[in-house]
Amino acid sequence: MISPEDLIALVRNYNPKTNADKIADAFAYGEAMHEGQFRHSGEPYFTHPVAVAAILTEQRLDDATIITALLHDTIEDTKASYEEVATRFGVEVAELVDGVTKLTNLQLSSRETKQAENFRKLFMAMSKDLRVILVKLADRLHNMRTIKAMRPDKQAQKARETMDIYAPLAGRMGMQWMREELEDLAFKVLNPEGRQSIIRRFVTLQRETGDVIHRITGDMRIELEKAGIEAEVFGRAKKPYSIWRKMQAKDQGFSRLSDIYGFRVITQCEEDSYRALGAIHQRWRAVPGRFKDYISQPKSNGYRSIHTTVSGRDGKRVEVQIRTRQMHDVAETGVAAHWSYRDGVRSENPFAVDPAKWIASLTEQFDAEEDHDEFLEAVKLEMYSDQVFCFTPKGDVTKLPKGATPIDFAYAIHTRIGHACVGAKIDGIRVPLWTRIRNGQSVEVITAEGQTPQVSWLDIATTGKARTAIRRALRAVDRERFVKLGHELARSAFEHVDRKATDKVLETAARALRVGTVNELLARLGAAEITAHDVVQAVYPELTSQEGDVISPRRAVIGLEAGQSFERAPCCQPLPGERIIGITYRGRGVVVHAADCDRLSEFESQPERWVDVHWHSGMHQAAYGVTLGLTIGNDAGVLGRICTLIGEKKANISDLEFVDRKPDFYRLMVNVELRDVEQLHSLMLTLEAESDVAEVARFREKPETRSISG
């Protein structure tokens, strides 16, 4: 544990005017309060708050935040009180410590509905003072750095929570270095063998190619000096998890992955940044489609930089980020740059985002949303999204998440425009509404009077704002029909447990499920947004099982006409839990495809055959076949272990076919019967973690493989 003098010295490095006595007093107070408490590792507990404070000094944060770090567990875990902390260190510090305590008490890894409510509380705490979440992130970072002392089950829980919530939150705040470290520490717990395989391949690559980073940084410095540009150049290999994620996203092996090195050029001014870009593009060939200018179009968290990818030495692709020193400071600390100090005064960084405006923009679209699941979905979409910048016909810039469609663009302009959308043009050419918008494109929305949102738009839209607006409009259009259907479903469900669906019972259920009125409850029940099991359990939990509604195969899909049957498309084999689209066939009823199935493009010119459908939200009784492609080592016992792992995941193997046999590996296709997409993801993660499995992928037929005629 570092001493109080060492901690004060760290603060003085960037803030010579720090109140050293106040920090020393907080150090002594925290140490006294935690006396006799120990961490899982056996170290004195106070080593943890000190380490958290040290992490925050790296971001040059103010005295109040450093003192909060030292005291962040005192109100929760010791005899210290809010009043005592406020009297001794001021109301500002006491409020911050209290905010961190409340965040700590949120069980963010609990089940979905509870998690949505916790996200609300998390954003409320952030909106009060963003420094609360900065302390919490530093707290989580140190806990992840020392996680080995915890029980394996606790390690896995904390790692998953970190990967799902804290890492993307750090990224959304612009603290990319912290996001990368949190992800990598969680990756080390969740998939240690996968991480080790990346590291081993890196070591092998360095042996074969030498110090690539040193050579490329040297080449860049030479080119910049030739152009008379004064700049610093840094290079690094990307983190193992970042490489793993690229491998999964691009479905490529390590040997085929090109941009595993990243380089930064730090210039003196904005003009030099563009000159440096020109010098680099003159020396190396730019990779098409891999250029982004976040200087002219900054991200909402203040991030500014030029990103380009070039073919460097030996044809290797390298990613280059170019920015000024001030931009770099914001890129390193994100929204935290607002509080950073230098030479005893708060840094006047022109690129640092006002935290109040930033958090307001983040929470604005969620404030009116009452449905917990929809709120949680919207939060996750926004937290994990990257951005694209597109233009209106008048030249105004609109920022959207990566993967956004013209539907998202229309709703970003105005809800009324979104509701009336009937088509779109991108760069003057008419395109389908599901087209993904790319950076720099001009988008024009075509509207028509009398148009209303379609159910299929939910599978097209990606932003929380658009999806929320579409759902509300659909509920309004279909409300009367859904209320009648919901009433029948409720009556039947309550009769099933020998009870009656009286007005009082339904009012009780509506209050328990927090959906407002009885009509709202019935409308959501009729629309299959909540299940009859949920409604009955809200009033009579002792009469319902924990399994949920068991859905028979013929009721598995919602949206079919009376007497209409369905079958799963063999090309994409959709599972419950996935977004689906129905296509009508003569004599076959409806064939259900996954919403991302490549074969749907064959039916673009036949919109009359498209059916808006979705899976029933209850527990599905049937098992559905899915084909997995596996590449496994050719060693004794490997296939037996693979079959055992599949069985342990409660999946049944219905067929197995070897498609390639080599001396060192086998390639095989395994047909497994699964309950839903969650079971599929769990099974694939388990197989990926097996050391003798080189590759596992879900098999999907391409359009040219076979044709289906209507």
Active site residues: 76-77
Tokens encoding 312 = 């460097």
Give the C-alpha distances (Å, rounded to integers) separating 351 from 305, 335, 341, 399, 413.
11, 10, 15, 18, 26
How many CB atoms are located within 10 Å of the residue 243 CB?
20
Contact predicate 310/285, CB 8 Å: yes
Give the C-alpha distances (Å, rounded to integers) separating 354 from 127, 299, 335, 338, 360.
12, 13, 8, 7, 10
Q: Is 438 helix (H, G, I), strand (E, B) or coil?
A: coil
Residue 26: which residues within 8 A CB-CB, separation 6 or more?
Answer: 67, 70, 71, 89, 93
Give the C-alpha distances (Å, rounded to integers) separating 499 from 384, 492, 535.
44, 10, 12
| Crossing angle of helices 4-12 and 63-71, rounded to 10° | 150
State how far the Cα of 472 lies from the Cα of 369, in Å rounded to an integer: 10
State how far the Cα of 299 lies from the Cα of 554, in Å rounded to an integer: 47
Give the C-alpha distances (Å, rounded to integers) separating 532 from 548, 618, 676.
9, 9, 20
Find residue 237's DSSP bridge partners.
Answer: 261
State how far the Cα of 2 lies from the Cα of 242, in Å rounded to an integer: 32
Q: Is 600 helix (H, G, I), strand (E, B) or coil?
A: helix
What is the distance, to the nearest Å, from the Cα of residue 189 to the centroid of all Cα atoms in its chain?
19
- Angle at 174 (CA atoms; ends 279, 366), nearest 5 degrees: 135
Q: What is the CA radius of gyration of the chain?
A: 28
Q: Is 481 helix (H, G, I), strand (E, B) or coil?
A: helix
State how far the Cα of 304 lies from the Cα of 576, in Å rounded to an integer: 41
Instruction: Give the 3-state DSSP-derived string for 668-708, with helices as H, strands as E and coil as C.
Output: EEEEEEECCHHHHHHHHHHHHHCCCEEEEEECCCCCCCCCC
State how far the Cα of 158 lies from the Cα of 286, in Å rounded to an integer: 41
Residue with tokens 């497994």: 672
DSSP string, 498-513: T----HHHHHHHHHHH
Q: Is 162 helix (H, G, I), strand (E, B) or coil?
A: helix
Q: Is 299 helix (H, G, I), strand (E, B) or coil?
A: coil
How many CB atoms are located within 10 Å of the residue 434 CB?
19
Pairing between β-strand 557-558 and β-strand 580-585 as defined by DSSP bridges? unpaired
H/E segment holding residue 424: strand 421-426
